[in-house]
Amino acid sequence: MDDLDRAIIALLQQDIPLNETPYASLAAQLSLSPEELLERLGSLQERGCLRRVGAVLRHQKAGFTANAMGVWEVPPQEIERVGPIMASFPEVTHCYERPTFPDWSYNLYTMIHGKDPKACERVAEMISQRTGITRYRLLFSLRELKKTSMSYF
């Protein structure tokens, strides 16, 4: 990662221009040729720094008005088996294991998106049936207080 990579990330973490040749427009801002920028982006992608140049949606406006954080109490020896099953549901966008506390025994987290709360509940019920994990809670979002993309550099 050099200064040029950081300058590229600083530019690409914003919106790309919506014209026929967005990479050429961005390259010009960095005094690069379009080929050089595309090469750099390919390399950042190969190194796992850049996932993709793509769209981030406003879920509510795209029709997913409900989002529930499912928290699951999974026996530690079952996590390897259960995690991939939960991750395989298209309505689940994230699935992570997180630490527990004396007053908080949930260790697996799934973000579930749906058209309404009922749809999220149905997904959670299916997950429960498929995994055999019955101790869980759905924490629905009551209000979005902040949602932005990270500014890295």
Extract the tokens encoding 110. Answer: 């799934």
Q: Does 64 bind other proteins (CB under 8 A)?
A: yes
Q: Does 76 bind other proteins (CB under 8 A)?
A: no
Between 10 and 49, how does the x/- string for binding to other proteins read (CB under 8 A)? --xxxxx-xxxxxxx---------x---x--xx--x-xxx
Gyration radius (Cα) of the chain, Å? 20
Burial call 29-47: b when 16+ CB within 10 Å, e when fewer = eeebeeeebeebbeebeee
Q: How far is the CB of 125 from other proteins (least distance, A)?
A: 18
Instruction: Find, among 98, 77, 93, 83, the residue nearest to 130 by Cα.
Output: 83
Selected from 28, 29, 104, 125, the binder of other proteins by CB under 8 A is 104
Selected from 2, 3, 90, 134, the binder of other proteins by CB under 8 A is 90
Q: What's the CA gap between 11 and 73, in Å, rounded?
A: 41
Q: Does 3 bind other proteins (CB under 8 A)?
A: no
Q: Does 2 bind other proteins (CB under 8 A)?
A: no
Q: Does 115 bind other proteins (CB under 8 A)?
A: no
